[in-house]
Structures are given as C-alpha cells and as structure tokens.
Structure 1
Amino acid sequence: MKLNNTLACVAAIACLFAGSALATDKSWFPVDVESWNPPFDMNSARTTVQYTPTGKPAAPLNICVSVPHMKDAYWVAVDYGVTQEAKRQSVQMTVLEAGGYTNLAKQISQIEDCVASGAQAVILGAISADGLNNLIKELSSQGIPVIDFMNGVTSKDVAAKSLVSFREMGAGAGTYIARKHPTGSGKVKVAWFPGPAGAGWVEAGNQGFLKAVDGSDVDVVDTRYGDTGKEVQLKLVEDALQANSDLTYIVGTAPTAEAAIEVLKQRGLTDKVKVISYYITPSIYEGIVKKEILAAPSDLAVIQARIAVDQAIRILEDKDYIRHAGPKLAVVDQENAASFDLYSSVAPADFKPVFTVE
C-alpha cells in the first residue's frame, strides 16, 4: 500500500510539472466555502455554503489587484487565480506587486495610480494589517470597493473579504506537532518562522501556532520574523541552527521550509531536524511527497483569489454576494498528498506571472 501511495504521489508531481492542461480544463466551482456572520470578524459564527460564481458581467469592468510581491510561489498562485478568473469572466485587470513587505508606501502609491487610471474596484493583498486603512476609507468614500484577500486588514471599510483564518493555518501546523508530542511524552524544541513582522496574516498565524502547541511538550525556543524572500529566510534558518544545536523542528513559511531543506542537507541534519510549512506551494507539496517535509496546511490560495474577483464583479454589478467567504482549510501530509486537489492551491509549473488582462 505504501508503494502504491508513493507512486500515486510521484504521478501527481509529474502532472504538476507537465503543464497546465489539467488546471485550465477543470472547473473550479462549485466549491464549499465558509461564510462568517457577522462578516470581517474571524471570531464570528460561520456556516458552510456552496460557492458558484456569477456569469460574465454585462458591461466592461476594470479591476486593480495589489499584492506584496511575486517572490515566491504562493503569490504566483494568487496571480494565477485572479488573472485566470479575469480571463474567464472577460474582465480587464491590472496586477501590481510592491516588491516586498517593507514597501508599504509603494503599495499605497501603486493603488492610487491604478485607481486614477480607471480601476473600478481594488482587490487588496495588504502588506500591513492597518497601514492601508486610510487609503481603504478614502477609496470607499469615492465609491471604489476594496476586497480584502489573502492577508487581511483591520479596516471595516472594505466591501468584502475573500479570506481564511491564518490563525487556523498556524494552528494547523501547531496541532500537527502537538499531537505527536503530548504532555509527558518528552520535550522537543522548535524554531518558528512566522513571516514578516506586522503583516496581518503573520500575526494571526503566530497566535494560532503558539496557542496550538501550548500545553504540549512542544517548546518554541526561537522565533524569527523576516520577509518571505528565500535569501532572507535562508539566513534566518542558518542563524537559528547556529543558536540552537538541539532543535527537533523547523516550522514556518514556505520559503522557510525550502531554505531549511537545503541547510539541513548541507549540515547533515536531515534525519535530526524535521520541517513543516504552514502553507503550501509546489515546492512544499513536492517536499511532502519526497518525505523532506512532514506536512503543510493549505488555504486554497487559488480559490481565494478567484472568489475575490467574483466578489468584485458582483459588487460592481450590484448583485448579491457573500461579504466574507473563505475556502475550508486542508492539511496535506505524506499520507494524503496523492488525493489532494493541487490546483486549488498552486499554479501550474508552466505558468508565468501575468500583470495585465485586457
């Protein structure tokens, strides 16, 4: 049975790297999502509903999408989701990337320029949880709806959210470890890499992870924040290993996990230190199949991105819409990787970032 599972996983990877036919031919809907009510509060009650997008808009629409960067496969997957849905719905779209989580002022100015050029709605993957609140309020007052997706903002002036709980993403990774090391089983040490300090998804993920391991024999001995560029994470992992000679786990962002695999191989620590990511990318999925990574929760990034586009269309056409929707989370590990719908979460291997849809 294990051999068959391994072969199935290898076949899944082969499909991923063969091209995009499977991803583009398969309809993404209907899909089960969670709806928060009241919206915009992750602590609100939620119900599961089946999400189906609206039809093509009756008149031409122009949407601006702003993301922190395109430096890793996660945001490439987001770009794939928004641009593919824009093409499917015949919507004009401009995608902007600010170059990194330190470039808040650039993200703000890019959005302002995009709106000045005629964008009717903004889909926002925010660099900061509250750093764009004034801009969001200003756009809302101008009748420009802002859809908060992926990262999360604290503003109540957004028109909609296509957003999961990154607290639960962090909790998914933490729970996975905590179940392996309950109280009394023997202490294990973890280095934890939440991502760039100040980003809404990072703070939520950090809270979820720490709460999930609390009360277990998991001891978080080192926490290091940093941009999700791989070079930054590589340095952080090296520093953590230098400071902690007896780690059992490295847990963090996808670039953290990718960097950790390389460093652990170089130092001969692969069998000693285990790796977990708290979201999934093609490299993370491949690492799980190859048994280099234990597990990773998935927030179904491609689906989130597609839903955000549909929300924008519905708002601009004055149609009913779910104000706060997010796909149900899944935890992918070495046991279930073969059956996981990969293209709900990642872009095909041959996809190149798209910045304009006419």
Structure 2
Amino acid sequence: MRVIVLTLCLLCTSGLVSAADWFPVSVQADGQVQPYQPLAQAAKPWRICALLPHGKDRYWWGVAWGLDEEATRQGVRLGIYEAGGYENPQVQAQQLEQCRQQNADAYIIAAINAQALCGAIATLVEQGKPVIDLVNGSDCPGLSANSSVDFADMLKAALGYIEQHRPAGSFSLGWLPGPQGAGWVEDLERSLREAEQAGRMRVEHGGYAPVDRASQAQLVRGLLKTHPHLDYLLGNAEAAGFAAQLVQTSGQNYRAQVLATYTTERIIEQIRDGFIVAAPTDSPVIQARIAVDLAVRVLEDQPHAQQVSPMIQMLDQASLPQFDISRLMPPPEHWMIRRDLPQ
C-alpha cells in the first residue's frame, strides 16, 4: 500500500506541473468536440457562491480544489459550501439562501437533487443571476450553462467496456447506482434501461442509498447474498470499492467482476491492484474549472456554450499510467476547501 500511495503522489505531482495552465482541454461544447480556452482574467472580482453535496472524499475535494484554483487564476472571490451528504437537501437549500441574502453575483450548484432547488433557482434567474449546473445535473429551467458529463454516457462507456471484454452470450449484472433522486443517478438508470432492452443483460438492482461506505456496504452485502453468482457488479465508487474487497477476500464463491460508474482515488488504487476491472472518469476537477469560467463569461456577456463536458476516459490497468490524475483529484497535501462567501 505504501508503494501505491507513493505512486499516486508522484502522479499527482507530475500532473500538477502545469495546473495553472490547465487549458486548452478537449471537451464537447454543445455537442461539438473542440479545445476549451477559458478567459485570461475576469474583468472584476465577482463574488461567486459554489454549492457541493458533501466533502467526504477526494472526488469532491478535487471539485473544490478546481473551483478554488480557477477562481484564484481569474481573480474572482469564491464561497464554497458543502451540505454534508446526499441525505441533506435542506442544508443545501439553506446554503443557497444564505448566499442569496449575501447578494452573490453568480451561483455554481452541484445539486443534491435534480428538482429540489428549482424554486430558488427560478428566483435567482428572475433577478438576473447566472446559475451554472456543475457535475450532478439539474432539471431546473433557466440555467445559464452546464459544466457536467452526462452520466448516461458514463454508463455507456462502462457497459461498452464489458461488451468488449466479456464472453459471448447473456450475462447478469448487479446494480448499485447511489442516492435516489440525484440527477446523475437518474441519468445512469435511464441509460441502463435502454441497454436492458437489447436483451443480453439481466440486471439485479441492489437498491438506493447515500454514497457513504456504511450505507453502500449494507447494500452490497444484501445484493451478493441474494445473487451470489453475478457475472458483473457495477456501482457507484463506494459500492464498487467495498464490493471489490468483499469478492476478493470473503472466501465466498463470488465470481463477479467489479466496475465503478465513476472514478475516485480509492477506485484508482483498486484498479491498479486488480480488484476493480475498470471505471470511467468524468474529470471533475476540469468540470469545476470550466464552471468558474462559465460563470464569469455569463456575468460579462462573453460568448459561451450552454453545455460543456470534458471527454470521458475509461481507466483500467493498461490506460492508468497515461492518465493525468490532476483531472480527478487535488494534490496530496490538499483537503476539502470550505469557505464562506467573501464580502
């Protein structure tokens, strides 16, 4: 494990040499593949409020770090709030109201629930405040722009990987998506239903829960107890991480090959160890950087795309050495950034 951590740290360091110059980066902007080039600097020190669902893992630490880095580079003032978990939509609503009362110039929101903030967002839109959707997806009308990857495409990438590597014939898939009602989970399940119609795959649903280890471990144990002979298990990072350990170390005759629907630091370690077969990454740090730039562009009436998505990359043992890990998580010395909106 010490070797793994050292390797990760070296990867982090090498990937951060040009972190301040993260651009241009290849994206899909309104459906067109092109290099993304942010503004050199904001015209004034705008005050931007960023809301995240939680700060429990290095995925969201990376998002917070990316937000902070780009805000610093462009010279804007940023508040970063996290709600403590997907079970706390009321906390995120309170944090949004707090920023509204402090008259933030723009809002970047990684929503806990795809619809829960629509009323508050409608009020902001009426007031002419830019609202940028970040990472999780939102169904609310009036959003100024979206910096996100469609998790339906993330699922297609994961299932495509299975198709390329599995034996011929039908197969069974254990499914652990995450918290019910989250926009990214709804996108995953929409894509899964489409794939099921092909008829080659039998899906065993393991249930919904917040993406903390205890909640997901309970679902994993229940799913494997009921369906011990699954061919594959595909789930959120916490579910996949626990399932991989259980399959490898429990002494049971589990044969499931484990994949995750997105990548975190733990997933990278388990891919390298051979516990997890593969996972797609949505480059959350890049999404965060782009979200800040989109907020500034909207504030300054600069040209911008409505939907910007970093290119999805599929990671396995073969591709991992070439992956720039600074797209996924902050350097080792960085933890979660929490900051009230500056005056």
Give the TM-score of the pair, scaled to structure 2.
0.92
Superposed, which structure 2 residues align to 1:252-331 within 5 Å?
252-269=235-252, 272-331=255-314
Equivalent residue for 1:170, pick from 137, 149, 155: 155
Does the 8 A contact of 2:171 with 2:202 survive in 1?
A: yes
2:48 aligned residue: 63
Equivalent residue for 2:191, pick from 208, 212, 215: 208
Matched, 1:143 2:128: yes
Give the distance between the partners of 2:106 and 2:188, measured in 1 at CA.
28
How far the C-alpha of 1:176 sits from its partner, in A, is 1.7
What do residues 324-350 of structure 1 show as CA deviations (whole Å, max 9, x unaligned)? 111111111122111112211222232
In structure 1, stretches of 5+ residues that fail to align are 1-9, 37-45
What do residues 107-154 of structure 1 show as CA deviations (whole Å, max 9, x unaligned)? 111111012123111100011111111111101111211101101111
- Distance change (3 Å), C-alpha of 1:313 and 1:99: same
1:52 aligned residue: 37
- Distance change (3 Å), C-alpha of 1:57 and 1:323: same
Does the 8 A contact of 1:29 with 1:51 survive in 2?
A: yes
Equivalenced residue count is 338
Does the 8 A contact of 1:169 with 1:208 survive in 2?
A: no
Q: Root-mean-square deviation (CA), in Å?
A: 2.2
Equivalent residue for 2:182, pick from 180, 199, 205: 199
What do residues 48-93 of structure 1 show as CA deviations (whole Å, max 9, x unaligned)? 1211110222321111100111122221221121111112222211
Residue type of the partner of 1:142? Q
- Distance change (3 Å), C-alpha of 1:31 and 1:101: same
2:214 aligned residue: 231
SS in 1 for 2:180: coil
Does the 8 A contact of 1:31 with 1:51 survive in 2?
A: yes
Give the distance between the partners of 2:254 and 2:179, measured in 1 at CA.
28
Matched, 1:344 2:327: yes
Matched, 1:134 2:126: no
Equivalent residue for 1:241, pick from 208, 212, 224: 224
Give the distance between the partners of 1:254 and 1:266, measured in 2 at CA.
18
How far the C-alpha of 1:20 sits from its partner, in A, is 5.3
Does the 8 A contact of 2:15 with 2:324 survive in 1?
A: no
Matched, 1:160 2:154: no
How far the C-alpha of 1:163 sits from its partner, in A, is 1.3
Give the distance between the partners of 1:334 and 1:240, measured in 2 at CA.
27
Does the 8 A contact of 2:11 with 2:325 survive in 1?
A: no
1:115 aligned residue: 100
Give the distance between the partners of 2:58 and 2:189, measured in 1 at CA.
21
Give the distance between the partners of 1:256 and 1:164, measured in 2 at CA.
21
In structure 2, stretches of 5+ residues that fail to align are none
Question: Relative to structure 2, which stretch is displaced further, 206-215 or 299-308?
Answer: 206-215
Does the 8 A contact of 2:177 with 2:188 survive in 1?
A: yes
1:81 aligned residue: 66
SS in 1 for 2:72: helix
1:189 aligned residue: 172
